[in-house]
Homo-oligomer: A and B are copies of this chain.
Amino acid sequence: MSTRAKIIEALSEAGEDHVSGHDLAENLGISRNAVWKHIETLRVRGYVIESTHARGYRLSSAPDALTREAIEPHLETEWLGRSLVCHDVTGSTNDDAGVLARDGAPEGTVVLADAQTAGRGRLGRDWVSRPRLNLYASLLLRPKIAPADAPQLSLVAGVAVAHALERVGLEPGIKWPNDVLIDGRKVCGVLTEIEAEADMVGSVVVGIGVNLNSERDDFPEELQDRAVSVLMATGAKVNRAFFVATLLECFERAYERWRDGGFGPLKDDWERRATLLGKPVEVAAASATTTGICVGIDSDGALLLKGDDNEVRRVIAGDVTLVGGYEG
């Protein structure tokens, strides 16, 4: 953790109390003058820090910024996000993470942005990325798997995002393969991209976009009835730095379970939140469209559809729509 992050952590832990410059300097092994300089830098970055000569410093408010100093005090992961790249604005965090991957960046590197100018969704679709409201994160992973197993990581991401949303009091559902919904509206999308040799994955970038503090009017009109944010669902803003840290922790846990035991251990977690279970759906893939009642997912993450002929078919990829309507 950086020195500034440690200062914020110390002030946050003190809550309404003051922390003396002397204590900060001693605990961090730096001079009181250095402490003062860090405090000044934090103030420039939007932290409101009161100070009195007699009692020391007190944090009265923190900016809602996606910076290392804001995130690190909340971060409980072992390896995910310990290398953290934070942009104010970038084209696409997935593109940035892809470049880092090709340059040899280690597993666990995370790229964040306050805004994206060329955010992408699945199948080359645009992803609307308004500044300073939501979360755009790309996680660089290097699992030793065949390309055929990569879609499982999208499911792992769906489970991790659901866990993180539950920590802030929501009851999300997951729509196969990896949209996360609240009351049938999309709160999160995942874009998993890989680079691989024909039979061995070199790197995976899992891009996660979560609508956090957008209001209904912040979405383009055509999405207003289909999208939702944490703010819209709970009525309260969520601190984005805290949510990022929570998400990374949930992801690290889900990923390690998957890495060590395959998708099996996560299957229950996924199915419990599955919005499509028992419903008639249609899956459109490049080659064919499959319809049937969703009866679950297979141990490798494939969607299982029971057709009119009572045969259960496996679907590995495609766009899902509920037959006859509203996604609940």
Q: Which B residues are CB-close (under 8 A) to A317? A: 146, 198-200
Contact check, A198 vs B153: say whether CB atoms are below 8 A apart. Answer: yes
Q: Which B residues are CB-close (under 8 A) to A197? A: 122-123, 191-194
Q: How far is B192's CA from A92's CA once the two chains are assembled, in angstroms?
A: 26
For chain A, residues 286 to 316, give those with C-beta under 8 angstroms from any C-beta of chain B. 286, 316
Chain B, Cβ-Cβ closest to A201: B147
For chain A, residues 124 to 148, give those with C-beta under 8 angstroms from any C-beta of chain B. 144, 146-148
Contact check, A199 vs B147: say whether CB atoms are below 8 A apart. Answer: no
Q: Which B residues are CB-close (under 8 A) to A147? A: 147-148, 150, 194, 196
The reply to whether the CB of A211 lies closer than 8 angstroms to some CB of chain B is: no
- When each residue 184-213 of chain A gets 1 if its CB lies under 8 Å from chain B and 0 otherwise, what string results? 000000011111111110100000000000
With A147-B150, A150-B147 given, is the CB distance from A195 to B194 under 8 Å?
yes
Contact check, B200 vs A144: say whether CB atoms are below 8 A apart. Answer: no
The reply to whether the CB of A119 lies closer than 8 angstroms to some CB of chain B is: no
Q: Which B residues are CB-close (under 8 A) to A102? A: 98
Closest CB-CB distance, A289 to chain B, in whole Å? 15
Q: Which B residues are CB-close (under 8 A) to A144? A: 286
Which residue of B148, B154, B191, B316 is within 8 Å of A316 (Cβ)? B148
Interface size class of A (residues with CB under 8 A): 20 to 34
Which residue of B151, B192, B196, B316 is within 8 Å of A193 (Cβ)? B196
Q: Which B residues are CB-close (under 8 A) to A286? A: 144, 200
The reply to whether the CB of A21 lies closer than 8 angstroms to some CB of chain B is: no
The reply to whether the CB of A73 lies closer than 8 angstroms to some CB of chain B is: no
* Copies of this protein, total: 2
The reply to whether the CB of A177 lies closer than 8 angstroms to some CB of chain B is: yes
Q: How far is B14's CA from A34's CA once the two chains are assembled, in angstroms?
A: 83
Q: How far is B151's CA from A98's CA once the two chains are assembled, in angstroms?
A: 22
Q: Which B residues are CB-close (under 8 A) to A198? A: 150-151, 153-154, 177, 192-194, 317
Seen from chain A, the residues whose Cβ lies within 8 Å of a Cβ on chain B are 98, 102, 122-123, 144, 146-148, 150-151, 153-154, 177, 191-200, 202, 286, 316-318
Interface CB pairs A-B, < 8 A, 17? A98-B195, A146-B317, A147-B148, A147-B196, A148-B316, A150-B196, A151-B199, A153-B198, A154-B198, A177-B198, A192-B198, A193-B195, A193-B197, A194-B195, A194-B196, A194-B197, A199-B318
Which A-B residue pairs are the 9 nearest by beta carbons?
A199-B317, A148-B148, A147-B147, A192-B198, A151-B198, A195-B195, A154-B198, A150-B198, A144-B286
